[in-house]
Chains A and B, each alone.
Chain A
Amino acid sequence: GQNIDQPTEMTATEGAIVQINCTYQTSGFNGLFWYQQHAGEAPTFLSYNVLDGLEEKGRFSSFLSRSKGYSYLLLKELQMKDSASYLCVTMDSNYQLIWGAGTKLIIKP
């Protein structure tokens, strides 16, 4: 079956670095997305990886290893506004999106 695993909740300190892991099993693979969702708001796009390696975009980076079925989202220089849920999403061979339940990130001063 198709499955995405990511931690339910993580806590980090303002100014620090945090890594949110995601492992997946899908029927075929056409890429992996990360979305950010603040409480009570809509998800917003952060990144898309289809090839192995690290994609850097400002304070956020996303890594993919297709052979391991593994991705992580790295957030540097954490700010209070980074408190949100981070959704790992894969795309299967039929280009259907499979959404993880999300990791709630709590930032403490």
Chain B
Amino acid sequence: DAEITQSPRHKITETGRQVTLACHQTWNHNNMFWYRQDLGHGLRLIHYSYGVQDTNKGEVSDGYSVSRSNTEDLPLTLESAASSQTSVYFCASSESGETAELFFGEGSRLTVL
């Protein structure tokens, strides 16, 4: 069965360190997204991609970067982790087409001390 997986599922790091969260999907979807979820907030879009070599900033992109070198993977990098980036991060993918439903990974819980 097709799926979308994230790793690591849990990570604790220190302020200033670089962190990369992996996302891998076998749906063969063109669209991929990274969100963060914090208590009292809706999901907030960090970065998204509509295909290989395409990346776009979302509403909370500062301090994050992504790259899309193939269809399956969209790694999220925190250049210099800050305590404000402690959150649960979800990767998602969807078929082409703006109104397609999103398929989410299991989430990565990141704690920055």
Contact = CB atoms under 8 A, between A and B. Distances in A.
A33 B101 contact: yes
Interface in A18-69: 30-31, 33, 35, 40-45, 48, 50
Interface string B43-73: 1110000000000000000000000000000
A101 interface: yes
Interface residues of B, number: 16
Contacts of A30: 98-99
Contacts, number: 44
Contact of B42 (A4, A42, A95): A4
Interface of B is mostly: loop
Contacts of A102: 42
A72 to B, nearest CB: 18
